[in-house]
Amino acid sequence: MEKSINIRIKGLVQGVGFRPFVYRIADNHGLKGRVENRNDGVIINVAGDENVLNSFINDLKTKAPPASEIHSLEVHSTNKKAFTDFQINKSKNISEEITLVSPDIAVCMECLEDMKVQKHRIDYPFINCTNCGPRFTIIKSLPYDRPETTMSIFPMCEKCCSEYSNVLDRRFHAQPVACSNCGPKYSLHLNGNIIEDQGLIIKTMRALLKEGKVIAVKGMGGYFLACDALNQEAVRKLREGKNREGKPFAVMFPDLETIEKYAFIDEDEKKWLTSWKRPIILLRKKNELARDVCLDFSTIGSMLPYMPFHYLLFEENQFNALVFTSGNIADEPIVIDDKSALQIFLPVYDAVLSYNREIFNRVDDSVGMIVNHSERIIRRSRGYAPSPVHLDLDVDGIIAVGAELVNSFCVGKGKQAFLSQYIGDLKNLETFEFFRESMTRYKNLFRIQPQLMVCDLHPDYLSSKYAAQAGLPLMEVQHHHAHIASCMAEYKLDEKVIGVAFDGVGLGDDGHIWGGEFFICDLNEYRRLNHFEYVMMPGGDQATLHPWRMAVSYLYHTFGTDFLDLDLPFLRSVDKKELELVIQMLGKKINSPLSSSAGRLFDAVAALAGLCSHSSFHAEAPMRLESTIMEASGERYDFINKGSISFVPMIKEIVNDIQHGISAEEISAKFHNTIIELILEICNQLRAEESVRKVVLSGGTFQNRYILERVERKLMANGFEVYAHKKIPSNDGGIALGQIAIAAKRRAIGVI
């Protein structure tokens, strides 16, 4: 039977080759009609035989382009329209609703093949198609059309134009379409010269890297610093240029086979590494690269090429691995501006590789790891931002500013929460500027009409101050409640749960620093039913920078000043005057805020075990502690659960172990096992008391693979329903989502 229907599709359907895809399958089915891109979705009008239409709809759902995402597909019957052909209508801006902005997509296989055969694109490093290429990084406003991108300054040549206009071409309406004749070009700044010949650039780059040079390379969402990851001298030079940064560097490998030489890798990891998102995945180290790449850590942040240029660089098999770390100074955001790149990098490194297309939106590489066969995002940026999180709550007009250290923010439109890309540490001036600029852009891009600001309870966070100055109603949300709500939002939970929030720092509602918290909570409110016993943080922030201070604080808490007679190895390296000062602070309780933070406990144990007395980057001590675990040990230490959790017995046992020459590897394993057991014990207790069996885990501590893996399994084995982050970071990068969920819930039930 002949029918006319109207299909309305919402989701990620712009800039991912959706309309040409619709055209092609309509053509395959011999259907006639129209498809139209609007800012509120894709609309299809088709007429034809009912069976054919059903098969067409089925293909829409099952054969959609890889980077597209259909969130809803509605079909309505319409009055019969007589179409004589199938056409794609021009984009229309028709309502306040919006479609989504596609994240950037790694170059596809077809384009890599085209790059070797298409005459106008032989080795052309900006090749792209409707299924791949830059998106968010070049988009200035919606709807997504070339004039609204940083490609607008490159008029298409005749050839590109005909591909762009040919509905059956792979580059039909690919907005960044380009070729050697008309598109962007690289330029290599070296020894006061500028090399413009594209072929020569690739050759020179390979030669320079082979010689051990360090080069700043303009990537998709910013500049990166690259060098041969097997050349210790080169890696050391890179590290020194970055002010001897202590963090492990991410590494790009040419293919999976090469990764397998250096890291252990399973099927889940392979799948994520090769996905169009191409994140950095933390893999377990098998063989050493240059020592300075991973700095004794047991994992390698690994990724595969995602730009055509990366593939060209790895041709001729010159390298097994290249360091690709973000090009920035200290805690500043990754550099995107070409002029600054030359100013900053040329004096320090050997060359700067740039290209003449502007990066409009800055995005870092995303980072993740596989735990219990699931993807866990740690840093959500390239390939993810600015995709929204879909909620069952009306978040419209709510702006959540996040926390301070690993900031990202969130803006609400309808039931969609747009979590920004990773922003960084707001205490840095440039980063705070990046925050403000991105906030304005998100508001414009997604047509947000701000009604309500949400911030952390901590009044000194720059994000909180920003929110307070907005001139809108302001809601403050406790940090760990926001952590739990963030994970609840990810799973669309809206009920009473057991919340386990472990992290480094978050202001509690009693004015102390929290971070080892057990809640019974829902999206509206929480009760704090258990937590780590308070200990002092001598010198406040200084205790965070110098984990030995936390070790001393825990020792003092356990033994009083008698701990000085214990002859502990880590104390020998501590400056005597500083130690005296710290003991005075503890004795007089001055400048020593109280903290129940899990992060500070990990710091203390890491320092006690002799693994990290001074921290050169955020969470270094807990990372070193985890990295040193000897998996064989099933033993654990004791703790006392008396309404709060006291680690006095554990500290005594650790001291005893140290004095009996027990290795740091074993101490670390026993400590981690203790944390796992205590989570299980307290959850069991709360389930019995409160009849709640859903456990939500959040906070930076759950980035610890050893803990997350085992806590999830044990809780499940004990009959709990366990919710841990997968798509949203469990660190403070996910906080804004929790804030927006709490605000939406409170607004919905009228408790603002």
Omega cis (within 30) before 155: no
In whole angstroms, give the CA distance from residue 416 to residue 423.
Answer: 20
In whole angstroms, give the CA distance from residue 730 to residue 700.
Answer: 6
Give 306: exposed, middle or buried? Use CB within 10 Å, 0-12, 13-18, 19+.
Answer: buried
Provide the minimum distance between the beta carbon of 60 and Fe ion in the complex, in angstroms, as a whole number. Answer: 42
Q: Does 404 bind Fe ion (CB under 5 A)?
A: no
Read off the DSSP letter of residue 179: -
Q: Which stretch binds Zn ion (CB under 5 A): 149-157, 231-239, 286-294, 496-504?
A: 149-157
Considering only 73, 122, 157, 167, the residue that binds Zn ion (CB under 5 A) is 157
Q: Which does 108 bind (CB under 5 to 8 A by kind): Fe ion, Zn ion, none?
A: Zn ion
What is the DSSP annotation of 669-686?
HHHHHHHHHHHHHHHHHH
Nearer CB in complex with Fe ion: 305/699: 699
In whole angstroms, give the CA distance from residue 227 to residue 290.
Answer: 11
How do 193-195 and 186-190 pair as beta strands? antiparallel
Q: Which does 503 bind (CB under 5 to 8 A by kind): Fe ion, Zn ion, none?
A: Fe ion
Nearer CB in complex with Zn ion: 182/594: 182
Q: Which does 740 bind (CB under 5 to 8 A by kind): Zn ion, Fe ion, none?
A: none
Q: Which stretch binds Zn ion (CB under 5 A): 27-35, 124-132, 517-525, 734-742?
A: 124-132
Q: Which does 160 bind (CB under 5 to 8 A by kind): Fe ion, Zn ion, none?
A: Zn ion
Q: Does 108 bind Zn ion (CB under 5 A)?
A: yes
Q: Which does 132 bind (CB under 5 to 8 A by kind): Fe ion, Zn ion, none?
A: Zn ion
Q: Give, in order, the Cα–Cα distances in Å from 723 to each of 274, 352, 497, 738.
A: 26, 45, 10, 14
Q: Which does 377 bind (CB under 5 to 8 A by kind): Zn ion, Fe ion, none?
A: none
Q: Which stretch binds Fe ion (CB under 5 A): 55-63, 310-318, 432-440, 724-732?
A: 724-732
Considering only 36, 503, 533, 603, the residue that binds Fe ion (CB under 5 A) is 503
Q: Does 269 bind Fe ion (CB under 5 A)?
A: no
Q: Does 182 bind Zn ion (CB under 5 A)?
A: yes
Q: Which stretch binds Zn ion (CB under 5 A): 150-158, 186-194, 259-267, 686-694?
A: 150-158
Give 291: exposed, middle or buried? Use CB within 10 Å, 0-12, 13-18, 19+.
Answer: exposed
Give the number of residues in contact with Zn ion, rule: CB under 5 A: 10
In whole angstroms, give the CA distance from residue 214 to residue 345.
Answer: 10
Q: Which does 182 bind (CB under 5 to 8 A by kind): Zn ion, Fe ion, none?
A: Zn ion
Instruction: Indicate the length of the chain as a whole number.
Output: 752
In whole angstroms, give the CA distance from residue 205 to residue 295.
Answer: 26
For residue 411, the number of C-alpha atoms closer than 13 Å in the C-beta half-sphere is 24
| Three-state DSSP state, 440 | helix
Q: Site mask, Zn ion, residues 35-74, x = CB under 5 A?
A: ----------------------------------------
Q: Does 425 bind Fe ion (CB under 5 A)?
A: no
Q: Does 179 bind Zn ion (CB under 5 A)?
A: yes
Q: Does 732 bind Fe ion (CB under 5 A)?
A: yes
Virtual torsion, Cα 692, 714, 263, 253, nearest 10 deg: -10
Provide the minimum distance between the beta carbon of 515 and Fe ion in the complex, in angstroms, as a whole number. Answer: 7
Nearer CB in complex with Zn ion: 44/160: 160
In whole angstroms, give the CA distance from residue 405 to residue 382.
Answer: 19
Nearer CB in complex with Zn ion: 72/181: 181
State the residue for tokens 């408790």: 751
Provide the minimum distance between the beta carbon of 392 and Zn ion in the complex, in angstroms, as a whole number. Answer: 35
Nearer CB in complex with Zn ion: 164/559: 164
Provide the minimum distance between the beta carbon of 472 and Fe ion in the complex, in angstroms, as a whole number. Answer: 25
Q: Does 132 bind Zn ion (CB under 5 A)?
A: yes
- Inter-residue contact 537 to 555 (CB < 8 Å): no
Q: Which does 157 bind (CB under 5 to 8 A by kind): Fe ion, Zn ion, none?
A: Zn ion
Range list of H helices, 118-231: 158-165, 198-210
Nearer CB in complex with Zn ion: 118/258: 118
Q: Give, in order, the Cα–Cα distances in Å from 384 to each of 63, 68, 103.
A: 21, 12, 6
Question: Which of 128, 105, 116, 113 has the alpha carbon at shortest distance from 179?
Answer: 128
Nearer CB in complex with Zn ion: 132/621: 132
Provide the minimum distance between the beta carbon of 107 and Zn ion in the complex, in angstroms, as a whole number. Answer: 6
Q: Give, in order, the Cα–Cα distances in Å from 432 to each of 12, 222, 455, 457.
A: 29, 17, 15, 19
Provide the minimum distance between the beta carbon of 402 and Fe ion in the complex, in angstroms, as a whole number. Answer: 10
User: Facing residues of 528 across strands?
Assistant: 519
Nearer CB in complex with Fe ion: 412/506: 506
Q: Does 111 bind Zn ion (CB under 5 A)?
A: yes
Secondary structure element (H or E) that encloses residue 468, with its range = helix 462-468
- Inter-residue contact 385 to 102 (CB < 8 Å): no
Give the number of residues in contact with Fe ion, rule: CB under 5 A: 3
**Which positions touch Fe ion (CB under 5 A)?**
503, 506, 732
**Which positions touch Zn ion (CB under 5 A)?**
108, 111, 129, 131-132, 157, 160, 179, 181-182
